Structure 1
Amino acid sequence: RVIMKYNPAEAYALAIGHLADRLRGGEAFAQAWPRYERVLSRSERLELQQLLAHHGYDLGEPDGQLGRKTRSAIRDYQAKNGQIPDGFATVAILEKLRGR
């Protein structure tokens, strides 16, 4: 949260946090960075939240912001569907929730 007060971009926060961990002797990422994964638009994030809520996840009021409750719901959804529960909102998750 502190890093994101300076720059709210998730990729920036992850990169800086990971760099700090590595400088302290931490391990590399467990899996490769999703380089070619398209970031969801605000309207897609809102739809994702609405679909998760429709499936019974408690997100509060859908607002298009991927906060703590949304990421927790995504992780739970991923775990229940045999995916790595990383909480990362992807087009693939949105499509699956849409029933496609």
Structure 2
Amino acid sequence: MKLIRAEFYLSGVSLFTSDTDSFRIADSYVLVNALDPDVLYSAGNYPSDYNFNIITMNVGIDPDKNHGDPTLYPPSHPLGTKSPDMHWGWAAGI
């Protein structure tokens, strides 16, 4: 078997300090291409004056965004229209 495409979404990124302070990065969605190890991904903006030691995130996206319209986002946005398509829907049959 040879993988020619391996992409997935990361979302819901939260950062924690040893003092139990937490910071959730709102609306953070990252489309990861697992076959390109040289790409660095940004999870969004967070305060730089904290020393974070734990990160949590979800694989995939939340149901509201999952059922949303990808054409509402610019093509450069992770949830925007892609080629090949990353959007799943009943009408598409995939």
Q: TM-score under structure 1 normalisation?
A: 0.22
| Higher-helix-fraction structure | 1
Structure number with the bigger relative contact order (C-alpha 8 A, sep ≥ 6) is 2
| Higher-strand-fraction structure | 2
**Higher gyration radius (CA):** 2
